[in-house]
Amino acid sequence: MTHSILVLTTGGTIDKAYFDALSEYQIVDSGIPALLREARVALPFRVVELMRKDSLELTDADRALIAGAAREAPEHRIVVTHGTDTMTQTAKVLAAEVPGKTVVLTGALSPARFAETDANFNLGMAFATAQVAGPGVWIAMSGEVFDGLKVKKDRAAGKFVAA
């Protein structure tokens, strides 16, 4: 059975867990399946963990793996959880390598395991965007949806802005 939405997890802040006061962290088992269960997502979905990396550590080979997984999947609507620092770089690769599908990247500026996190909202925005947006690559963050090729992260403001 083909699921309606494929969720590819790659790591990033959305899946970080902090273990001490010095802010040492590890990217642990993805919390995305639990978030989707808690949200009572009724739409069929499938979650595939591709890697557990901070996006600053992603290589061209990692981006090729993400693009290949999206391209080869039977689903035409795909959500990719990703670190925010290099999300736009991955968006460019996906736009070039995954034609004809709707791909939405999302992440978090604070970990999903924190009480005050944007992870739940961003993941919900990504699911909604994947259902209604046309083919192409999109970034859903902080209550906004951006063309994945016309956006940048404004580190000073702590948000994404149109480029």
Q: Which positions are catalytic?
A: 13
- C-alpha–C-alpha distance, residues 45 and 13, integer Å: 22
Positive or negative torsion for Cα 87, 65, 52, 122: positive
Answer for the pair 49, 30: CB distance below 8 angstroms, yes or no: yes
What is the three-class DSSP state of 72?
Answer: helix
- C-alpha–C-alpha distance, residues 100 and 24, integer Å: 40
Q: Which helix (H) or strand (E) holds 37?
A: helix 32-38
